[in-house]
Amino acid sequence: MTRKRRSFSSEFKLNAASLVFDQGYSIADASRSLDIGETILRRWDSATPAGKALTPEQQRIQELEARINRLFTASRASAGSRTLMLMMREQGHRVGRYRVKSLMKELGLRCKQPGSHAYKRPPLNGRAYPTG
C-alpha cells in the first residue's frame, strides 16, 4: 500500500517550525501531532532561512546586528564594542557593551586600531647621525 505524496503550504511549514521553536515541542512530538514524518520536519527546520526571524526576540537581535554592522562600516572598521555601544545609545537604543561584543563576534567584526608609536632605532655602530 503506497501513500500518496502530500504537499504542504509554506504557512503550514512555518507553523510546524514554530511548534518546535516557540512552544517547546520536541521534533518527535510535533511530527506525531501533525501526522508528518520526523525527517521532513527536520528538513523544514533546517530549510527555514537563517535571515528569517521567527520570534520577536530573534527579530530584535537581527535589527541590532544590522545596526551594529552599519555603524561599524561607517566607522571604517575602527569602532570597538564600547564605541559602538555609545553610538547606539546616542541613537536611543538600550544595549550593553557585552551584547555588542558578542554580536560583533557572531558577525565576524574586528576593529582595527592604529599600532603604538615606535621610535627609530639608532644604527648598530651607536651613532645616531652619519659622520663625514
Percent of the chain past pLDDT 70, that is, above it, reads 83
Q: Can you spell out the DSSP letters for the chain?
A: -PPPPP---HHHHHHHHHHHHTS---HHHHHHHHT--HHHHHHHHHHS-TTS--SHHHHHHHHHHHHHHHHHHHTTT---HHHHHHHHHHTT----HHHHHHHHHHHT-----PPPP-PPPPPTTS-SS---
pLDDT-based confidence at residue 128 (cuts at 50, 70, 90): low
Taking only the tens place, the pLDDT of each residue in 51-92 is: 566 567 878 888 999 999 999 999 999 999 999 999 999 999
Considering the entire predicted model, what is its pTM?
Answer: 0.52
Q: What is the pLDDT of residue 49?
A: 56
Specify whether the CB–CB gap between 77 and 112 falls below 8 A: yes
Q: What is the pLDDT of residue 64?
A: 92
| Cell numbers standing for residue 100 | 555588542
Q: What is the pLDDT of residue 71?
A: 94
| Cell numbers standing for residue 5 | 505524496
